[in-house]
Structure 1
Amino acid sequence: MVDDHDIVRLGVRHALAGRAETVDAADLVEARQKLAAEPFALLLLDLALADGFSLKALPQLRALQPGLRIVVLTSMEEDLYAERALRAGADGFVMKAAPRATLLEAVDTVLAGGVFVSAGLNARLLRRAVQGEPAAARDPLSTREIEVLRLVAAGHSTREIAERLNRSVKTIESHKAALKAKLGADSPAMLVRLALGWLGDSA
């Protein structure tokens, strides 16, 4: 279980008591160390960690143990992140607000070789597949743009975002300009409001 909140790790450990032995990690660095040291059957992973946005790290985490099954357990918006997480290598996506039974179902499904998402998301994915909706229409923002959007919603300045993402100020300004165009924001203040609307409490 990789999450930077003690109370969440404790809650998951309690939820899985009697069904699985859990090992905790508070960040991506610790997760990589533990995955490199011993085999695991399942990884429960939050997306927003203190040392980074773990969506980008999913392929690297899976590469450490190719047979590892991964379930994203997060408070970040399902509509915005679930498909992207699955494409990055996750086998399941569960919201932290879901009941214990949903988490247990996700764990059982994924360990049995399946893929788990909520019934609502599953229906939307099926409808999109049947209707042949192009990927660009349903996923207009890149992973980097979503990272920038999260930091905008959190109130960080362009320079602060550049420092956190190890990019130039000019690059971040370009991302923000692209976000304004894609989201229909005509000012920095409107971009912040739209970012908060898109990301909600997950920002």
Structure 2
Amino acid sequence: MNLNFNRKIFSRKTVGLLATLALAAGFAQAAEFKVESVSQQDGRLLNAQFANGMGCQGGNQSPQVKWSGAPAGTRSFVVTMYDPDAPTGSGWWHWVTANIPASVSELPAGGKLPAGALAINNDAGQPGYGGACPPLGQNHRYVITVHALKVEKLDLPPNATPALVGFMSWAHGLGKASLTLMGSR
């Protein structure tokens, strides 16, 4: 490659300016897509979102999740809640919901899913939400993520795992927004 030729076409300033503009455009798009929840207080899960069992006495109610600013071309969403601090070596999927229509921008607390949405088995092997229940004395992070997808629905087998939904969400993703809430007992 002839570096002298390339230097004549693109100066360092031009390359730097192009890189800055591309980075700014990416940040602007990422800043628009956001997720929030009223099912929290001061950044912590409410008791309603804790499990009712396994040593916890909560409401086992899925959190309210609302999102806005999805990328252009979004045709469906996937909503997940994941505990990266679970003592399993691989974290714990509390909630995975796929094939949420693009016209939906909120899931109510403990509410039923919109038509067409699919509740995936959580890591306890149950479809739908499985409440938080960190070991006594530990503070865990619960990451709620909304994935915007470029497909109307994921073609999933009946026994789809959270890992498969995650893989397919990345493969068909346009963007994602996350909110991390804390939980302890």
- Same-fold call, TM > 0.5? no
Pick the structure with more strand per residue. 2
When the two structures are superposed, what TM-score results if normalisation uses the length of structure 2?
0.25
Please identify the structure whose Cα radius of gyration is greater. 2
Larger RCO: Structure 1 or Structure 2 (Cα < 8 Å, ≥ 6 residues apart)?
2
